């Protein structure tokens, strides 16, 4: 858990290491505070050889999160659908000059955006922070003492999308 936090790991990879942290619950945004769902976390399971933070725990957290997603979807479907247009009309916004960093819980972890505005319609700078980049940075630490063949399973279990890490 400490190693994951030190590397800035978020999402299922952090929860697979035993840390119960999810922006949708811990810093609710949008309408997530209206829904009942659990945050799955990893556990040591000696009878099957599972160690907190290993490939199995990351996999298990992702499987359990799919069940929680179904719970959220069912709650949404049971709500009264408000009257009105089905597609919102958006006008171009002119944000004030300044900068902001904001993040949301994405399937692979926290997806962050840093935006600098000069007060015009288009941002001066827009920088995305992918959870895949942070997860890949921990690969060497996750691979210590393991065989080279194990790296494939580790990369698969931390759910890296290589296109997201290209800077």
The pair of structure tokens assigned to 111 is 């997806």
Delineate the domains of the chain, giving CATH numbers in brackets: 2-165 (1.10.645.10)
List CB contacts of 54: < 8 A, sequence separation 6 or more.
16, 42, 157
The pair of structure tokens assigned to 138 is 């921990």
CA distance 117 to 129: 18
Provide the whole-model pTM. 0.87
Q: How many CA atoms lie within 13 A of 16 on its CB side?
A: 29
**Residue 50 bridge partners (DSSP):** 45
121-161 pLDDT per residue, tens: 999 999 999 999 999 999 999 999 889 999 999 999 999 99
10-61 pLDDT per residue, tens: 999 999 999 999 999 999 999 999 999 999 999 888 877 778 899 999 999 9
């Amino acid at each position: 858990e400490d190693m994951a936090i030190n590397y800035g790991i978020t999402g299922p990879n952090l929860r697979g290491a035993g840390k119960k942290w999810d922006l949708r619950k811990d810093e609710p945004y949008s309408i997530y505070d209206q829904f009942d769902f659990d945050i799955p976390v990893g556990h040591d399971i000696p009878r099957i050889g599972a160690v907190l933070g290993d490939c199995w725990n990351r996999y298990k957290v992702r499987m359990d999160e799919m069940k929680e997603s179904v719970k959220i979807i069912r709650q949404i479907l049971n709500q009264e659908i408000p009257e009105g247009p089905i597609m919102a009309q958006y006008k171009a916004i002119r944000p004030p000059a300044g900068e902001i960093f904001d993040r949301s819980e994405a399937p692979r972890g926290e997806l962050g955006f840093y935006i600098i505005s000069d007060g015009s319609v288009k941002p001066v700078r827009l920088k995305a922070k992918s959870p895949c980049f942070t997860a890949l940075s921990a690969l060497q630490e996750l691979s210590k003492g393991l065989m080279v063949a194990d790296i494939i399973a580790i990369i698969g279990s931390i759910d890296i999308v290589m296109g997201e890490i290209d800077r």
